Amino acid sequence: MKIVIIGSGNVASHIAPALHRAGHNIVQIFSPTPEHAQTLAAVTGSDAISDIRNIDTTAQCYIYSVLDDVLPSVIGAMPALPNAVHLHTAGSMDINLFEGYQQRYGVLYPMQTFSKNVEVDLCTTPFFIEGNDQQTQDTALQLARQLSHRVICATTAQRTQLHIGAVFASNFTNHLYAMCHDILDAAGLPFDVMLPLIDATAKKIHTLEPHKAQTGPAARHDKKVMEKHIAALTNDTQKKIYKLLSDSIEQSAE
């Protein structure tokens, strides 16, 4: 299949090479930053463009992998290509962003954390797909199954909840890691002492429901320990987060 990748960021940098390895012809990489387009195009044997007006109009599929806040304007800048399939990769963006611009459109959303220089196993990454008609959905399904062993059809409403869940499970958790790093650093301790605990906690929920895996002072209603921790914290934001999360854990334990 002839595919154009619109975007060259974290998601595109993983999706484009994977589709290329699967045998698809990635004819173009678009990015408003020429060097970014050229870097990804070199990996996929594609042409690099930085002007949307130079988009190849003969492709069968256009995959939009750009920041959420610019996605509507990029879709609006594209020429009408009624015979092609148009898919965006955003978790929380509506499928109907394409409505009025393209006839066949949908979503190809990989639920994973992506960084350009960090390898990701797409085969184990869940892909959530949607199409505005059966033919488009079948195309999205076919592409997703060439990248992953786990493909699920999900509506825009379902993906919104999924994306919220992903923020809690990944983004918020990572921010807590950063807070932990700062706390240990201030005490003259290395952050890597936490890695066995972090790994064991993540591994545990592969076999236990998260509520059942919960441990710690809040889960056992140990008020004295929690008060001691809050008193020892010097950052007001950390104090508030500690108390808010502890209250939530206590309520769940009840």
Q: What is the CATH number for 15?
A: 3.40.50.720
User: Cα dist. 166→107, 113, 162 in Å?
Assistant: 17, 9, 6
Residues 115 and 194 in one domain: no
Final residue before a domain boundary, out of 154, 185, 206: 154
Residues 112 and 179 in one domain: no
Final residue before a domain boundary, out of 133, 154, 175: 154
The pTM score is: 0.86
What residues contact 32, with CB distance under 8 A and at least 6 apart? 50
Residues 46 and 99 in one domain: yes
pLDDT tens track for 70-98: 999 999 999 999 999 999 999 889 999 99
Residues 39 and 105 in one domain: yes
Identify the band that residue 213 occupies on the pLDDT scale cut at 50, 70 and 90: very high
Does residue 246 surpass a pLDDT of 90? Answer: yes
Residues 32 and 111 in one domain: yes
**CATH, residue 243:** 1.10.1040.20
Final residue before a domain boundary, out of 128, 154, 180: 154
Mean pLDDT for 29-51 is: 95
Q: How far is the C-alpha of 132 from the C-alpha of 147, rounded, in Å?
A: 21
pLDDT given at position 177 = 97
Task: Report which of 213, 175, 220 is spatially closest to residue 197, judged by C-alpha positions.
Answer: 213
Residues 169 and 193 in one domain: yes
pLDDT given at position 115 = 81
Residues 54 and 132 in one domain: yes
pLDDT given at position 145 = 96
> Whole domain around residue 210: which residue ranges?
159-253
Partnered with residue 48 across adjacent β-strands are 29
Domain count, the chain: 2
